[in-house]
Structure 1
Amino acid sequence: MEALTHFFVGLHIVGISALLGGFMTQMKAMGAGEARIVPAMLHGALTMLVTGVALVGLNEADGQTVNHVKIGVKLALLVVILGLVYVKRDEERLPAPLFGTIGLLTVANIFIAVMWT
């Protein structure tokens, strides 16, 4: 069970990397007002959702305690990120504040995961 949990943690990190990496590749374009959602951002957010749910299920099944408030906050942020990315994925240009919000929520999700104990 531990190996499976580690596998999903790795996939979860791959998902956050794709989401944040996709955002970072568009930062220069964001300054020019020409940022757009790249497919890696959508796929990364979906990967995070699926692996996050799997991780909660695996930890619950293994009898470990899960901080449901933390998971709820992270899930709420991810649902907002996923909604923005999904709805705006076909637009050629996004306003800088909207695109920046996606990056800010992504970084907030990372810090909540790491610092909230």
Structure 2
Amino acid sequence: MDLIHSLLVFLHLLGMAGIIAGFLMQVITDSAKAPKVILHSSLLQLVTGLVLVGLAEMGGDAVDHVKIGVKLVVALAVTAVAVLNARKPAARLGIAAGALAVLNVAVAVFWQ
């Protein structure tokens, strides 16, 4: 079970890195692939985050439901912005997705 948890955390962090990389690709180079990178990375983050919470609940670990709720709302916002950005790319949508991803990391790290 530890291997599955570690793999999910690894994928979750790759998703976060993908959102930030897509954001930078879109803002700096105006790459046409950036919106897809942001979208797929946000979906990876959303799915792995939900599975990680489910595993924590099943394992009997203490879960701060308010924190998880806030992170879920922010993750859904990132995904919604990513969908909009994939439909009609705009630098401001890439910036919004990147900023929301950084906000979600801040919530994860600083909310104790």
Q: Same fold (TM over 0.5)?
A: yes
For 1:99-110, what aligned pairs fall within 5 Å after superposition? 99-110=94-105
Matched-pair identity in %: 34
Aligned to 1:89: 86
Give the aligned residue type for 2:22: G
> RCO (CA 8 Å, sep 6+): is it higher in 1 or 2?
1
Aligned to 1:45: 42
Mapped partners of 2:63, 2:16: distance in 1: 20
Aligned to 2:3: 3
Would you identify which runs of 4 or more consecutive aligned residues in structure 1 move more than 4 Å? 34-37
For 1:3-42, what aligned pairs fall within 5 Å after superposition? 3-29=3-29, 37-42=34-39
Output the TM-score relative to the length of structure 2: 0.88
Aligned to 1:70: 67
Indicate the RMSD between aligned Cα atoms, in angstroms.
1.8
* Bigger radius of gyration among the two: 1
Q: Is the 8 A contact 1:35 1:99 kept in 2?
A: no
Q: How many residues align?
A: 111
Q: Residue 72 of structure 1: CA displacement?
A: 0.6
Q: Residue 106 of structure 1: CA displacement?
A: 1.0
Q: Secondary structure at the match of 2:87?
A: coil
Gaps of 5+ in 1: none
1:17–1:95 Cα change, 3 Å: closer
Q: Residue 58 of structure 1: CA displacement?
A: 0.6
Gaps of 5+ in 2: none
Output the TM-score relative to the length of structure 1: 0.84
